[in-house]
Amino acid sequence: AQGMLDAALAAGADCYVSGEISEPTVHLARETGAAYLSAGHHATERYGVQALGAAVEARFGVSCTFVDIDNPV
């Protein structure tokens, strides 16, 4: 979603949260004064996967196990 910062700014966003960031995004955020939070894929995506597993278990009775392996990136 980092490539959508310009569209978010055009829509009036003051702050943008994403799981990734690259050099062009850093510069765009600095040049526009926008607050950009790059929280990392591991931190931002693990809760959704756990919720999906719980929903699958509840609906279909399929056992799901979430294995949390830290990603230092």
Query: What number is the average pLDDT over the span 35-44?
Result: 86
Q: Report how far residue 51's alpha carbon sits from residue 38's, in angstroms, rounded to the nearest whole number.
A: 22
* Band of residue 23 on the pLDDT scale cut at 50, 70, 90: very high
Q: Answer whether residue 64 shows pLDDT above 70.
A: yes
Whether 73 shows a pLDDT value over 70: the answer reads no
Rg (CA), the chain: 17
- Distance in angstroms (rounded) separating the CA atoms of residues 55 and 64: 10
What does the pLDDT read at residue 43? 79
Residue 61: both structure tokens together = 């009775």
Q: Is the pLDDT of residue 5 over 90?
A: yes
Q: Are residues 7 and 17 in the same domain?
A: yes
Domain count, the chain: 2
Shared domain for 3 and 34, answered yes or no, is yes
Say if residue 28 is in the same domain as residue 14.
yes
Q: Are residues 20 and 33 in the same domain?
A: yes
Is the pTM higher than 0.75? The answer reads no
What is the average pLDDT score of the chain?
91
Residue 4, amino acid: M
Q: What is the pLDDT of residue 25?
A: 92
User: Within this chain, do residues 54 and 25 fall inside the same structural domain, yes or no?
Assistant: no
